[in-house]
Amino acid sequence: MAKPTVERSAKEYVSTDDRSPYGEWVSNLRDARAKTKIIKAIKQMESGNFGDCKTIEDGGGLWERRIHYGPGYRVYYIVEGDELIILFAGSDKSDQRQAIEQAKKHLADYKKRK
Domains in the chain: boundaries? 9-113
Report the phi/psi class of residue 18: left, alpha or beta, with left for phi > 0 and alpha for psi in -120 to 50: left
pLDDT of 3 higher than 90:
no
CATH for the 9-113 domain, from 2.60.120, 3.30.2310, 2.60.40, 3.30.530: 3.30.2310
Question: What amino acid occupies position 6?
Answer: V
pLDDT at 109: 96
Q: How many angstroms separate the most distant Cα atoms in the chain?
A: 36
pLDDT band at 114 (very low <50, low <70, confident <90, very high): confident
Which residues are within 8 A (CB) of 94 and not within 5 positions of it... i.e. 6 or more apart? 71
Pair 82, 111: CB distance under 8 Å: no
Looking at every residue in the chain, the average pLDDT score rounds to: 92
pLDDT in tens, 69-110: 999 999 999 999 877 899 999 999 899 999 999 999 999 999
pLDDT at 7: 86
Gap between the Cα atoms of 45 and 33, Å rounded: 18
Instruction: Label the pairing between strands 63-67 and 9-12.
Output: unpaired
pLDDT at 82: 78
